[in-house]
Structure 1
Amino acid sequence: MSKTCIITGASRGIGKAIAVALSKRDDISNFVLIARSEEGLNNTVKEMNQDKNIQCKPMDLTLYEDVASYIHSIGTHYGSIDMLVNVAGYAEPKSLLETTMENWEKTYSINVHSIFNITKESVRFMKKTGGKILNVASTAGSSARPGWLAYASSKAAIISMSQTLSEELADYGILVYCISPGRCATELRKVLAPDEDPTTIMQPEHVGEVVRNLLSDEGVCLDGQNIVVRKQVEKIRENEPAI
């Protein structure tokens, strides 16, 4: 059966790596890549398996009605949505007294509300055939991150959302996964830790392979858990940000 997979945040970093890794799978024929950068999406496509049917959609995920309408059109066109991978995220770390309502609302609108919106519309199709949802959270969501209140709490919300939906959607044959990457050599990480040597930490491709395995038949017993993904030698120091 030809499967359809939607990936957000697919223009760079972990989202790009996941798209490339999943394109190696024989059972997924249709890919829908969503991100704000059209150029970034086109660069992702160049690294993917060219035998796949790949559709790119430059889009702001906080335009909730537009996104819901687009996902509905995808489900109608292909007849099903088999996999949804929510990667898109935002971070502007501030302490409590420095965090404005604009910063707080933007963080939650991208990191939480957009995932709720796209997941809800995708499940309208998944509930008919079953499917898999994978949300990318962060180790920041499961430990204290002073100075990162908006980001850390938004990622904690994704961990909780994933665990709740895993049980709620089980009757439909929908599996929900959540991964929390540690330090990873993404573009965002370069901004947050400019003096760090990116070759010493986990690479996006490592996360991509983890997701590829999780969304295979072998990953059936790992749904509903917050799966931490990081290098074995990594030492998470207190108050150190993740991705």
Structure 2
Amino acid sequence: MKTCIVTGASRGIGRAISVALSQQEDIQNFIILARTEEGLVETKGLMAAGKNIEHYHIDLTNYEEVQTLVQAIGQKYGTIDLLINVAGYADPKSLLETTIENWETTYRINVHSIFNITKEVVKFMKRTGGKILNVASTSGITPRPGWLAYASSKAAIISMSQTLSEELSDYGILVYCISPGRCATELRKILAPDEDPTTIMQPEEVGDVVRHLLSDSGVCLDGQNIIVRKQVKKQTASVKVEVAPAGVVK
């Protein structure tokens, strides 16, 4: 049975992905991570019964602590089959309002922590292969005035994912990257505080897309930036999944 790590699992997209993947019969062991223990406990309660679920409240920017935890997980289960990087941070500011502290915090959480945990997981994953999925954003491929640090950090994740897809292919590791559009999360409230969350995509819809991507039928979609967004037409709405060709801005 497979072992899966999900970061940012205490709410939003991270919670939705954890719940969706817990429906998969071939994934038995879940390690869900976030900074808020209460939220992790709530997520655990929503996941499918009969699964082995461990939760750890941890700051992913404590790099050595993360390294130690991944080593313990890998040694306990023998391998790590799935890594889902969801945890993110946003404090949107324009260029002249962005402090170096704001910039560094955004990159420590949104980029450096993903680099750190991915590197540690791959030390185990390279033995048997596996799948890594990074959650970026459509803000990483389109101009977002006032969101400089956040948008550029998400662009870095898209580039990182595409590079690792080729670099890790010799190990049988598939790397996926999804860029959700407007989604009703706590992070979105920070980016667009006046928006009505009921009119945009819900985290559960993203969770369903991720579940499909990581199934056997999603194998051909690795190495690409996959855009997930909700299209509203008159009184109906549907979630659309697109693949953004390299170098093309949508």
Give the TM-score band, short-chain normalised: over 0.9
Measured after TM superposition, the shift of residue 186 of structure 1 is 0.7
Q: TM-score, normalised by structure 1?
A: 0.94
Q: Answer yes or no: is the 8 Å Cα contact 2:91–2:102 preserved in 1.
A: yes
**d(CA) in 2 for partners of 1:193 and 1:136?**
19
SS in 1 for 2:174: strand
**Corresponding residue for residue 240 of structure 1:** none
**Corresponding residue for residue 51 of structure 2:** 52
**Corresponding residue for residue 135 of structure 1:** 134
Runs of 4+ in 1 over 3 A off after TM superposition: none
**Corresponding residue for residue 31 of structure 2:** 32
**Corresponding residue for residue 205 of structure 1:** 204
**d(CA) in 1 for partners of 2:90 and 2:17?**
20
Measured after TM superposition, the shift of residue 44 of structure 1 is 0.2
**Corresponding residue for residue 239 of structure 1:** none
**d(CA) in 2 for partners of 1:22 and 1:210?**
10
Structure number with higher strand proportion: 2
Measured after TM superposition, the shift of residue 191 of structure 1 is 3.1
* 1:136-175 correspondence runs (5 A): 136-175=135-174
**Count of residues paired in the alignment:** 233
Measured after TM superposition, the shift of residue 197 of structure 1 is 1.8
**Corresponding residue for residue 88 of structure 2:** 89
**Corresponding residue for residue 76 of structure 1:** 75
Q: TM-score, normalised by structure 2?
A: 0.92
CA-atom RMSD, angstroms?
0.9
**Corresponding residue for residue 43 of structure 1:** 42
Measured after TM superposition, the shift of residue 198 of structure 1 is 1.3
**Corresponding residue for residue 10 of structure 1:** 9
Measured after TM superposition, the shift of residue 36 of structure 1 is 0.2
1:189 aligns with 2:188: yes
SS in 2 for 1:230: strand
1:117 aligns with 2:124: no
For structure 1, which runs of at least 5 residues remain unmatched after alignment?
235-243
**d(CA) in 2 for partners of 1:190 and 1:164?**
31
**d(CA) in 1 for partners of 2:191 and 2:175?**
29
In percent, how many aligned pairs have the same letter?
Answer: 76
Matched residue type, 1:83: L
**Corresponding residue for residue 222 of structure 2:** 223
SS in 2 for 1:90: coil
Measured after TM superposition, the shift of residue 77 of structure 1 is 0.3
